[in-house]
Structure 1
Amino acid sequence: MKILTLNSHEAYVCLLTKLGYPIDIVDYLPGRYTKKWDERIRPIPENAELITLEEANKRKYDVIIAHSITDLLDVKNIEAPKILKIDVSLTGYIHQQGSTVKPQDVISALKIYIDKFKIIPVSTSEMKAKTWGLEDCIIVPLTVDTDFFSGYTGEISAGLRIANQIAQKSLIYDIGFFIKVIEKLPFKIVGYNPELPDVEPARDINELREQYQKHRFYLHTARYDYEDGFNLASLEAMSTGMPILTNQHPSSPVINGINGFSSNDPHELTQYALELLNDRNLAIRLGKNAREYVIENHNFQKFKEGWEHAIYTAIMKFS
């Protein structure tokens, strides 16, 4: 089995390599904040090779995993079963594109394209699949390496958020609400955000884990009509053992007072944060429950079974 994918999200592509198959990754693509694989996010996997799109067009593959409509168009001339992985809502996609296109027009065009070229849609959540109108979409939940992301201490009395390009995603991440929560709190943002002073990405995955381990709590905010109530970073934080604070959201993993706190009142969420800052034992207790949630609901076995099913379905539909 030989897989081709494209580099749009190093952390997720690394999860795909854990399926155990040799994988070519098309790198050096336009439209990203970095021109090549960002080794600060993840090291290049041993079973992966970074190649150009020109090189990919000369090779043969058993399956291609695209991460966007743009990816699908990039690989349209390569004869192989194709999977479209959706990890952004349609509303979020249109917003990030700065487009005025009607959602229904995108849905109709995508369905025609998927049917014509026998493409299998996969989504990281039910919410995202529904926004694209994909009733037959295969849901493959996000996963986290819970052995690696562990070891919480909470020794730094401050909150944390891991996010890239916050300015461009301010509506999706409900940054207005986020700022109200943290404006009087000790707080650290980590990620690629050149517009924000004193905000830098972690040097590598080990430093990223250290941020999760040492900070007292993690804050994730998102508008329910644009994004899920969790993402890979928040699940990594939970796996490490961090208690999570979120705005209330239909898909939030937070059970109030059990593995974190949630509220649509920013001032109330600030008070919850202060409780955690003043009580490290409370943070440890809630964080332990957060970790157990990830182990149960986002373990690698579910991820592997989901992708194996998607790959098999794509190959059978293409043949």
Structure 2
Amino acid sequence: MRKLNILIWHIHGAYLTAITQTQHNWYLPKKEDNPEGYIGRGVGSSMPDYVREVPASDVKNLKLDLIIFQTPQNYQQDQFDILSAEQRNLPKIYLQHNSPEPHPTDSRHWAADDPNLLLVHVTHYNRLMWDNGTTPTTVVEHSVAIDPNLRYDGSRAEGIFVVNEMKRRGRMAGFDLYNSLRDKGLPLTTVGMGSAEIGGIGEIHYTKLHQRVAEYRFLYSLMRYSSLPLAVIEALTIGMPVVALATTEVPTVIENGVHGFISNDPEKLRQNMQFLLDNPDEARRMGNNARKLAEERFSLARFINAWNRVFEEVVGS
């Protein structure tokens, strides 16, 4: 398809790095005080050069083909602040990253009943659970744009969880389970914003994160309620076994004893984690299976093709 001129706000850096692998002309609005969504490319970006920053005040002068929203603010306020009236009539996508809140089944989406927009969910679970009204919807499953040569090492007999602000997010992010499992003697750590204050590693830039993560025996995810975490897909991609709660979309991805372990019984998860700590060869076998799964279901090539089909459908219509 022809190259499109696409405006998107910088909301989730890892996802933005992946979606911009589609070779279009991407524009990121920027403001000097860097409020949410307006940081441009950000610091140390690994995005392609065709992803360009543009002052928010100049956006209205761009010749655009497509607008992509990702937050209620993008949809309800930002478009009226920085887009021209003509641009607001362009084809539009709302990319919904998260599972519904505040209620898992009765939360109505902000873009519900908007016939002039396509609502794209990142998991089938999310699309099922959101009340989308009559807005057209589709699903594009995740991928990640990380070093394709990076491989699981697993020599460090510890588990690691990649999550931002676990303590602040509390039970949703499994902070209570993290503390309980560590109290029972499991060597677990966490990495991400706010992790240092709870005994973790701290924040590591995305371009260096996965090389560090690959050293650990397994990745664990204690998210009670979340979209399919990108950290899980990143672990699968480098060939790392995953131990996770069997909630939301995760049970459609991880098969027990094949790619790692899933359960909603914390004691069972503790036993599974201990098994991987005690059996590095089994951890490597499951990691090899995890990598095959990622290549089949979450490859970057599949992701790029899926998004280009969506773009062609939306802009063509």
Does structure 2 retain, via aligned residues, the 8 Å contact 1:5–1:26?
A: yes
Deviation at 1:125, TM superposition (A): 0.7
Q: Which amino acid aligns with 2:202?
A: E
Q: Which residue of 1 aligns with 2:72?
A: 69
Once the two structures are TM-superposed, the CA of residue 133 in structure 1 deviates from its matched residue by: 2.1
Match of 1:26 in 2: 29
Q: Which amino acid aligns with 2:43?
A: E
Q: How many residue pairs get matched?
A: 299
1:196 counterpart residue number? 198
**Range that drifts further, 298-307 or 128-137:** 128-137
Q: CA deviation at 1:169?
A: 2.5
Q: CA deviation at 1:157?
A: 0.9
Aligned partners of 1:82 and 1:181: how far apart in 2?
45
Please list the CA deviations of residues 58-84 of structure 1 after superposition, one character each: whole Å capped at 9, or x if unmatched.
Answer: 212111111112112312434121110
Shift of 1:39: 3.4
Matches within 5 A, 1:45-56: 45-56=48-59
C-alpha deviation, 1:44, in angstroms: 4.2
Give the gaps of 5 or more residues in structure 2: none
Q: Secondary structure at the match of 2:46?
A: coil
Indicate the SS of the match to 2:204. Answer: coil
Structure 1 Cα separation of the partners of residues 198 and 15 of structure 2 = 25
Q: Using the TM superposition, give the Cα deviation of residue 130 of structure 1 relative to its aligned residue in structure 2, in angstroms.
A: 2.2
* Bigger RCO of structures 1 and 2 (CA < 8 A, at least 6 apart): 1
Matches within 5 A, 1:126-141: 126-134=124-132, 136-141=136-141
Asked whether 1:11 is paired with 2:14, we answer: yes
Question: Alpha-carbon deviation of 1:131?
Answer: 2.4
Q: Is the 8 A contact 2:177 2:266 kept in 1?
A: yes
Alpha-carbon distance, 1:14 to partner = 1.0
The answer for the alignment partner of 1:99 in structure 2 is none
| In 1: Cα distance, 2:105 partner to 2:35 partner | 25
- The letter for the 1-side match of 2:277 is L
Do 1:83 and 1:120's aligned partners in 2 also have CA atoms closer than 8 Å?
yes
Instruction: Report the identity percentage.
Output: 22
- Structure-1 residue corresponding to 2:167: 167
Find the aligned partners of 1:37 and 1:139 in 2 and give their Cα distance.
26
Structure 2 match to 1:98: none
Give the Cα–Cα distance (whole angstroms) in 2 for the partners of residues 173 and 251 of structure 1: 15
Q: For each residue in 1:5-43, what CA deviation from the matched residue of structure 2 results, as whole angstroms up to 9, or x when unmatched?
A: 1000111111121001121112445247x9665436x43
Matched position secondary structure for 1:308 = helix
Task: Find out whether 1:89 has 2:92 as its counterpart.
Answer: no
Report whether the alignment pairs 1:208 with 2:218: no
| Residue type at the aligned position of 1:258 | V
Distance 1:64 1:111, change over 3 A: same
Letter in 2 for 1:239: T
**Aligned 8 A contact 1:120 1:313 in 2:** no
Task: Compute the RMSD of aligned alpha carbons.
Answer: 2.5
Aligned amino acid, residue 245 of structure 1:
V
CA distance in 2, matches of 1:48, 1:239: 24
TM-score, length basis structure 2: 0.85
Q: Which amino acid aligns with 2:226?
A: E
Please report the TM-score for the alignment, with normalisation by the length of structure 1: 0.84
Aligned pair in 2 of structure 1 residues 88, 61: CA closer, same or farther (>3 Å)?
same
Relative to structure 1, the CA distance from residue 75 to residue 103 in structure 2 (aligned partners, 3 Å threshold; closer, same or farther) is: farther
Contact 1:243–1:283 under 8 Å retained in 2: yes
Query: Following the alignment from structure 1 to structure 2, what is the Cα–Cα distance between the partners of residues 208 and 147?
Result: 11
Deviations 1:254-296 (A, max 9, x none): 1111110122221221121111112211110011111111111
CA contact (8 A) 1:81 1:315 kept: yes
Equivalent pair of 2:14/2:206 in contact (CA under 8 Å): no
Alignment of 1:163-312 (within 5 A): 163-183=163-183, 184-193=185-194, 195-197=197-199, 199-205=201-207, 207-223=208-224, 226-228=225-227, 230-252=228-250, 253-312=253-312
> Which region of structure 1 is more displaced relative to structure 2, 267-276 or 146-155?
146-155
Runs of 5+ unmatched residues, structure 1: 96-101
